[in-house]
Structure 1
């Protein structure tokens, strides 16, 4: 029986609505619900993380710095230790609060051939412990430079950037989300599902972090959360949304970094919920749009998500103990940038000038880019392994060498000869010189490419129905190429 044009239009609209309804529902951010519906083995932990706590009273907030007091504390670090610190802003929150960063280095604000690390606190407004702990960290480094060997190592061999609060508005409102009630750890571009593809729809705090990562050449980083006691590492989600161990290309290195934090902690490694006090994010419970995975994919930055307090908003009297339990963990994690891994510079043989070449490790499907200023690279790697290190640059011949990475870092410079670059297929890069191209292209390689092709064909069909008077037409569906597994 022939179908009328209006009835066919109605059916196509129903199919379109059904297609969009099949997109993954907003998974909770790290420290929220388990979208897989399973919380076995971690039920008590998930309950602590599940939602905003409506019982955050004035009494509970007493003893925590307000946003204005936090700004005073940040600027006080800069005034007290101007020789090893710099205060700068990466943007503003929805309500206009400045997102202030403390940079600690023997040459703050200057470009050097040194690795950079960042700590971010208060991603969720109702998890304020990170703000207090990070101010303590900055003051401890200020007080102990040239007195403590670890403090001196960090100050003189790297650039440490500390953002005490990413979500000052959420803190003031005593809730997880920002002033627009958006979970900021759910607001980044995601590798598996197209979440917030358009940068104009992202929150100002999210955009500030993304621009910051593009401007700075971070080697590694960590964000501080509350509601559990564990060091979490990528991937945070899985391709099919199932709760499973889903390791990234640098899984071994991330497990090493997470263990550095956990084993340095007072009791994190003794966890009964998480073996060794560490966990793969997707195995714990999958999330999408998280900051951790985005840093690794688009910034070449090895980021951990650190849950540093069993209680999301503990009483202020507990803060000194939490600081002491986490102090060595934070120091050792930051110091691991210079204590291990492979570091060096890439030069052009004909000019002797540094070049921003790429560095890859054979057998690991990720790469990093050397800096444009000094051609320096800093690659996190798990010690105790042999690695083949490969340096390449368009217009130069690729070079490779093998190293044995033991407990100490390896220094390795490359001098590349001009000539044809290797015939290997080059990955697309974004402005950071990182893998996977721009956000939109990256997302179109996700698991729902078929769905978007289908929706696109429906839109074409609707257009034809309106523009043509013919009553029949055929849509040819082509089998899209399978996405490349990461």
Structure 2
């Protein structure tokens, strides 16, 4: 009895401890104090978020703010105007311009050269990339015509640098953008019908997609943080399981990832990832990622580079991270002209450039030559023999075998012959035939429509006048012969 009385006295103090654990996340109960498990968890989460933001704000000291980044980009454009062009591909949710630095010996001009893009700060709380990409741009500018690698890249590649894809996430100190959307899950996916609603995509995602419609990038890399590894496609699997799932160019991607890893200070020494590289689906599958979308829809070989174990290291670590990653970024960009097979495609009937397709036998992936110059740039693993095939509707396909060396790219131009119809007439020329293409185009426009009808009438009248004049001349000739009599023969 004494025990029972003792428990009754203690019951008010024990009741919170005897409350079911599920009540912490359930609906608010009838506690008159208003302090329930739900509100406790909410306040604790808020406190943790506030502490986390305070920590990130402290870590952000020494990093460029969005306004400072914009000033740095524009300052670079003025200082290095001879090799750069500054432009924006769009704006973030909060209206911050997405600034790009193009670096080339002929910035803004279209050339028969490969294009490469670096993208930083895809996730707002992974800011190392935005700092390193500005350092990369300045290093190239300072070492142009001094360092062979800098000169090679600037003279032979159009390099495009987007320091921050997610400026809103950076200012808000969080992974997602201002709408709290993970931009690396916002692209159309090959396995699942996610993100198919065009209106539902984020403005930053749309900007990247429109960018690839304007510029034909050969390869690309996005800079992330939180690990130390070079990640390559595929990033997901058709059944959402975690296992190695390689794309058609798996060997080429492994080669490109290894270029970055081996050039890095210690990435290739990773104990977690053999050689410092990994297949995305083998690491952990994601869907709606930018990497796979680039390869499938943009014809662009993209890597996802995890360049720092710490997502947001202190600013005093940035010089070290730059030294660790500098040669990796330079060698990856230079690989576009140091490896693979490159060339142009022409039509034999008019000699003009032909935007045909290039395929490699036994690799189920096709790239298209550019419309302006019909140049193509096909990345491949060095040291192998490949059969390169050029195809174009209305033309006979051609192929050739090439052996790629370990230190030099291959060069193969194609001249395609038009197919011949059964009646013996050649099919219409599919290229932009030139001997002064613009003049010929204007001439065709002039000799079409009403002008064509008037031309036929004029030609008919001219022929009729010639007929009358000829008839009059013949009549006069015979009349003259009759007046002078038969011609005399000359003496021997």
Q: Shorter-chain TM-score: which interval?
A: 0.7 to 0.9
Secondary structure of 1:231's counterpart equals strand
**Is the 8 Å Cα contact of residues 91 and 205 (structure 1) preserved in structure 2?**
yes
Distance across 1 between alignment mates of 2:52 and 2:386: 47
Deviations 1:305-350 (A, max 9, x none): 0000000000000000000100000000000000000000000110
The match for 2:86 is: 87
The match for 2:481 is: none
Distance across 1 between alignment mates of 2:183 and 2:395: 41
Deviations 1:381-425 (A, max 9, x none): 01111111000011110001111111210010000000169xxxx
The match for 2:189 is: 190
The match for 1:34 is: none
The match for 2:26 is: none
Aligned-residue offset at 1:54: 5.0
Q: What is the correspondence of 1:324-363 to structure 2 with a 5 Å cutoff?
A: 324-363=323-362
Distance across 2 between alignment mates of 1:217 and 1:294: 14
Deviations 1:134-188 (A, max 9, x none): 0000000010000000000000001000000000000000000000000000000
The match for 1:159 is: 158
Q: In the alignment, is residue 108 of structure 1 matched against residue 111 of structure 2?
A: no
Structure with a larger share of its residues in helix: 2
**Is the 8 Å Cα contact of residues 84 and 104 (structure 1) preserved in structure 2?**
yes
The match for 1:414 is: 414
Higher RCO structure, 1 or 2 (CA under 8 Å, sep 6+): 1
Secondary structure of 1:366's counterpart equals strand
Q: In the alignment, is residue 315 of structure 1 matched against residue 311 of structure 2?
A: no
Distance across 2 between alignment mates of 1:391 and 1:53: 55
Secondary structure of 1:303's counterpart equals strand
Secondary structure of 2:288's counterpart equals coil
Distance across 2 between alignment mates of 1:88 and 1:167: 16
Distance across 2 between alignment mates of 1:95 and 1:85: 27
Deviations 1:443-463 (A, max 9, x none): xxxxxxxxxxxxxxxxxxxxx
The match for 2:453 is: none
Q: In the alignment, is residue 389 of structure 1 matched against residue 388 of structure 2?
A: yes
Distance across 2 between alignment mates of 1:71 and 1:261: 28
Distance across 1 between alignment mates of 2:207 and 2:245: 28
**Is the 8 Å Cα contact of residues 387 and 403 (structure 1) preserved in structure 2?**
yes
**Is the 8 Å Cα contact of residues 388 and 401 (structure 1) preserved in structure 2?**
yes
**Is the 8 Å Cα contact of residues 389 and 401 (structure 1) preserved in structure 2?**
yes
Aligned-residue offset at 1:58: 2.4
**Is the 8 Å Cα contact of residues 184 and 205 (structure 1) preserved in structure 2?**
yes
Distance across 1 between alignment mates of 2:52 and 2:400: 54
Distance across 1 between alignment mates of 2:355 and 2:166: 34
Q: TM-score, normalised by structure 2?
A: 0.74
Distance across 2 between alignment mates of 1:53 and 1:342: 49
Q: Aligned-pair RMSD on alpha carbons?
A: 1.2
Distance across 2 between alignment mates of 1:263 and 1:77: 30
Aligned-residue offset at 1:57: 3.2
Deviations 1:175-222 (A, max 9, x none): 000000000000000000011101111000000000001110100000
Aligned-residue offset at 1:53: 5.8
**Is the 8 Å Cα contact of residues 121 and 163 (structure 1) preserved in structure 2?**
yes
Distance across 2 between alignment mates of 1:56 and 1:394: 60
Q: In the alignment, is residue 277 of structure 1 matched against residue 263 of structure 2?
A: no
Distance across 1 between alignment mates of 2:372 and 2:240: 41
Distance across 2 between alignment mates of 1:272 and 1:229: 10
Secondary structure of 2:363's counterpart equals coil
The match for 2:4 is: none
Secondary structure of 2:216's counterpart equals coil
Q: What is the correspondence of 1:426-465 to structure 2 with a 5 Å cutoff?
A: none
Deviations 1:103-140 (A, max 9, x none): 00000000000000000000000000000000000000
Secondary structure of 1:211's counterpart equals helix
The match for 1:24 is: none
Report how many residues are paired. 370
**Is the 8 Å Cα contact of residues 190 and 289 (structure 1) preserved in structure 2?**
yes
Distance across 2 between alignment mates of 1:223 and 1:238: 21
Distance across 2 between alignment mates of 1:151 and 1:328: 11
Q: Structure 1: any 5+ residue segments left out of the alignment?
A: 1-51, 422-486
Secondary structure of 2:112's counterpart equals coil
Aligned-residue offset at 1:56: 3.5
The match for 1:223 is: 222
Q: TM-score, normalised by structure 1?
A: 0.75
Distance across 1 between alignment mates of 2:278 and 2:198: 30
Could you list the structure 1 runs, at least 4 aligned residues long, displaced by more than 3 angstroms after superposition. 52-57
Distance across 2 between alignment mates of 1:230 and 1:360: 30
The match for 2:237 is: 238
Distance across 2 between alignment mates of 1:217 and 1:191: 21
